[in-house]
Amino acid sequence: MTPTVLLLQATAAAFSLLGWLILMRDGVFGLGPGITPGQGMALVTIAAVYGWWLSPIAALTGGVRGAALALVVIDVLWVFLGQGVAGYAFCAFPICPSAAPFSDVNRLGSVVFGLAAAWTAWRAYRAMPGRTLWAPSVTALALIVLAFVLQSANTTLPGS
């Protein structure tokens, strides 16, 4: 693994996490003392994605070819689409009145660094010899799809 891959993964993760912190501030899972079981499970899957993200990074340092592909999946689906593109879909471009200018910087950073991290992980995947281990990519995809499903069923959009 090159330092560029690691640096871009860390930056993509930071922008993605910033996006969730801003969303939580806006009450995306409601406001108040209570939390429903569905909201709790959505939060658990979000935490699982961030916790598991470290696994393919560690596996990539050991030369596991499929780990780089798992990072591509995470970068494209979770950071670029989930935080960047979806953020633009739910808030007016270029200025979002909620948490401005941080939400705008976050969406742009998620798009830019999500793509840059995916590109460098893809290049690392293509440069590695040997067979692809599919388990890391399948796990990343499963966690992200489950998180997206639980989020869509349990979130409250601002202004709803």
- Distance, CA of 86 to CA of 10 (rounded, Å): 21
Can you give the pLDDT at residue 24? Answer: 83
Can you give the pLDDT at residue 128? Answer: 94
The 10s digit of each residue's pLDDT in 7-19 is: 999 999 999 999 8
Res. 38: pLDDT tops 80: yes
Name the pTM for this structure. 0.90
| Domain ranges, ordered by start, for the chain | 3-25+37-153
**List of long-range contacts for 152-155, beta carbons under 8 Å, 24+ apart:** 153/38, 153/42, 154/29, 154/36, 154/38, 154/39, 154/41, 154/42, 155/28, 155/29, 155/42
